[in-house]
């Protein structure tokens, strides 16, 4: 038998720092084409996982470590998601891992890409945290220093509660005010074209690097509001 606790133990054993579960009835407000059943029609449960990333690289000049961390962490959550999906199939269920990329949706003019499902919205619905004005998922223990992955399955699992974390204060707009290119709107929608043109650039050798993380770094909750911020 497959249980929510069993899946969480498996995720932890594989190296995930967070694992939460949502039931499909939480997704009635999903945009057309981005409902979990649009990806796999028999989806009944959504498993969201996250791995922590270290924050010191936010405070150094070279973008190299942060770029490497992003890529390694993405690979790590993908490996864990893959193993969880395999486990469901070994137990007789169906499961699909949800990758961050490649995108199916891409609008060239606005340079807007969308994952087949939004990992941060899956994380929110699975109780891992809240989505801040900077458009990042923020967990109460680990802040926004996390990388997300997910699996959808036809197994019925007991869901977790939505997060009751404190959210952005109305008076805080630090991420919006400090984005170097004004990419974050007051409605918290990020202009991907503005962000990509500033943050995703090629170095002298033509390798893509992540040259900006100001919206992550400036957030007072970046390390989780239950911990003392350190830098």
- Among the listed ranges 30-38, 116-124, 145-153, 219-227, the one in contact with ligand SF4 (CB under 6 A) is 219-227
Which H, E and C letters describe the chain, residue by residue? CCCHHHHHHHHHHHCCCEEEEEEHHHHCCCCCCCCHHHHCCCCCEEEEEEEECCCHHHHCCCCHHHHHHHHHHHHHHHHHHHHHHHHHHHCCCCEEEECCCCCCEEECCCCEEECCCCHHHHHHHCCCCEECCCCCEEECCCECCEEEEEEEECCCCCCCCCCCCCCCCCCCCHHHHHCCCCCECCCCCECHHHHHHHHEEECCCCCEEECCCHHHHCCCCCCCCCCCCCC
Selected binder of ligand SF4 within 199, 209, 223, 224 (CB under 6 A): 199
* Binding status of residue 215 toward ligand SF4 by CB under 6 A: yes
Window 118-147: residues binding ligand SF4 (CB under 6 A): 132-134
Size of the site for ligand SF4 (CB under 6 A): 25
Window 172-191: residues binding ligand SF4 (CB under 6 A): 172-175, 179-181, 183-184, 190
Rounded to a whole number of angstroms, the minimum distance from the CB of residue 189 to ligand SF4 is: 11
Rounded to a whole number of angstroms, the minimum distance from the CB of residue 41 to ligand SF4 is: 34
Question: Interface residues with ligand SF4 (CB under 6 A)?
Answer: 132-134, 168, 172-175, 179-181, 183-184, 190, 195, 198-199, 212-215, 218-221
């Amino acid at each position: 038998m497959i249980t929510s606790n069993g899946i969480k133990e498996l995720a932890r054993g594989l190296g995930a720092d967070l694992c939460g579960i949502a039931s499909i009835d939480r997704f009635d407000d999903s945009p057309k084409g981005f409902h979990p059943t649009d990806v796999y029609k028999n989806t009944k449960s959504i498993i969201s996982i996250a791995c922590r990333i270290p924050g010191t690289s936010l405070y150094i000049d070279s973008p190299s470590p942060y770029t490497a961390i992003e890529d390694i962490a993405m690979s790590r959550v993908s490996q864990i998601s893959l193993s969880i999906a395999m486990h469901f199939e070994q137990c007789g269920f169906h499961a699909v891992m949800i990758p961050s990329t490649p995108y199916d949706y891409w609008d060239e003019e606005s340079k807007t890409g969308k994952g087949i499902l939004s990992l941060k919205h899956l994380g929110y619905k699975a109780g891992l945290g809240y989505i801040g004005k900077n458009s990042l998922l923020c967990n109460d223990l680990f802040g926004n220093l996390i990388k997300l992955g997910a699996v959808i399955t036809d197994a019925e699992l007991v869901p977790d509660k939505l997060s009751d974390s404190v959210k952005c204060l109305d008076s805080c707009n630090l991420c919006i005010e400090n984005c170097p290119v004004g990419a974050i709107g007051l409605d918290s929608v990020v202009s991907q074209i503005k962000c990509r043109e500033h943050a995703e650039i090629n170095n002298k050798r033509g390798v893509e690097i992540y040259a900006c993380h100001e919206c992550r770094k400036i957030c007072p909750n970046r390390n989780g509001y239950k911990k003392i911020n350190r830098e």
